[in-house]
Amino acid sequence: MGSLAVLEILAPGPLTTIQDLGRFGFGRFGVARSGALDSFSCRIANLLVENPENEAVLEITLSGFKARALRDLNIAVTGANLNPYINNVPLAMWQSRIIQAGDILSFRNIQNGCRAYLGIAGGLDVMPVMGSKSTNLICGFGGFNGHSLQKGDILNGNPGSRSIQDLNLFLAPEWIPVYTKEWTLRVLLGPQNDGFSSDTVKMFLQASYSVAPQSDRVGIRLSGPLILCKAGIAESIISEGIIAGAIQITGGGQPIILLNETMTGGYRKIATVISADLPILGQVKPGDQIFFKQVNLEQAFFLLQEYERKINNFKLYN
C-alpha cells in the first residue's frame, strides 16, 4: 500500500516541524538528537491514533498553524492548548478524532503551553535520516526536506485505504498535564556545581527566573539573578558532551537550559533537569516564570517510573 497525500499546509505559524522521539547514536559525529521537545505529548498523540509512539508528528509552535485534510483521517492533538478548531467547531484535545477530506484544522490562539502535537494515524511518510524522521533545522536534514513546514507543502502518510473508523481513544483526564505560566523544574545538582559557592547554589534554587524571548529549540534562555563562578575559576571549561535539560551558565552568568539541538558545550552546568520533567521544557514560553527544586537520584528515579507508568497504563487499557 502506497503513500498518500494527507495534509496541505495553509499557514505554518511561527514554527512547525516534523519530529519523532529523536536521533540517537550519532552524537559521536556531533549530530544532535532533535526530536519532539515535549516527548510525553508526542508519545500520547501517536498512541491515540494507534501509531508506534516513536512515529513522526507535527510539532506546532504557538498559534497560527492552519492545514487542510486531503482525505479522511484519524488524528489526535495533544500538548499546548492552542485553541484548535476543525472548520468552525472547537476540536477536543487528548483524544482521537476523525477529520474529513476538505476539513480545515486551525490553531487560533494560545490558551496555555507553547507547543501542540498533531498525530496522524498511519504516520508521516518522510525519509528517515540516520534512523529518525526528526527535523534537524540547524543542519537542514530530516523531516520535510530538512526545513520547517511552509505554506503549500503537501504531507504524505499511510492512513490506509479502508474507510476510517472512530478509534474512540482518550487520555484519562487526571493524566492530562496542567500548563501554567509558573513552572517548578526538579533538578539534580551537577555536573559542575562545584564551580559555584554554596551560597550561589542556594540562590539559584531560591530565585525565580523569567524565560527570555530569544529561547528556541537550542535552549531556554533565562533572566534573573546572575550565577557567578567561585573567584578565580574560569567560566568556560574544556568542551564536553551535554544532554537536554543541562543548565549551562554562560559568560555573563545567565542560565540557559539546553534542549535538543546541541551535543557539546564549553560552560559549567550547575544542575540538570530530571527526565520526568523534560516534557515541560517543550511547554515553557517567553515570559513564563521558572523555579528550580533540588531532588536526589532516588527521587528522580521514582518520578521517572511514575511518568513511564502513565504511558504503560495507557497502552495496557487501550
Partner 1 sequence: MFFDKPHFRIMGDRALLVEWGDEINPLINQAVRELFFSLDNQKIQGVAELVPGYCSLLIQYDPLRLPLSTLQEIITLSSRKSQAVYIADSRTHKIPVIYGGSYGPDLQWVADYHDLSIPEVIRLHTGTVYRGYMIGFTPGFPYLGELPDAIAAPRKEKPRTLVPRGSVAIAQKQTGIYPSDSPGGWQILGWTAVKLFNPFANPPGLIGMGDQVTFVSVTEEEMKQWVL
- The footprint of partner 1 (CB under 8 A) covers 24-33, 129-130, 136, 138-142, 187-188, 190-192, 238-243, 245-246, 263-264, 269, 272-275, 297, 300-301, 304-305, 308
When the beta carbons of 181 and 293 are compared against partner 1, the nearer one is: 293
Q: To 10 degrees, what angle do helices 39-48 and 297-317 make?
A: 10
When the beta carbons of 94 and 183 are compared against partner 1, the nearer one is: 183
Give residue for cell 484535545: 93
When the beta carbons of 122 and 282 are compared against partner 1, the nearer one is: 282
When the beta carbons of 175 and 301 are compared against partner 1, the nearer one is: 301
Residue 25: burial class (beta carbons within 10 Å; 0-12, 13-18, 19+):
exposed
Give residue for cell 479522511: 72
Query: Nearest distance from residue 221's CB to partner 1, in Å?
Result: 15
Query: Nearest distance from residue 265's CB to partner 1, in Å?
Result: 9
Gap between the Cα atoms of 211 and 195, Å rounded: 24
Query: Nearest distance from residue 223's CB to partner 1, in Å?
Result: 20
Is the preceding omega at residue 191 within 30 degrees of 0, hence cis? Answer: yes
Residues 148-176 as b/e (b if ≥16 CB within 10 A, e otherwise) read bbeeebebbbbbbeeeeeebebbbeeeeb
Query: Nearest distance from residue 33's CB to partner 1, in Å?
Result: 8
Gap between the Cα atoms of 80 and 93, Å rounded: 9
Query: Nearest distance from residue 271's CB to partner 1, in Å?
Result: 8
When the beta carbons of 32 and 73 are compared against partner 1, the nearer one is: 32
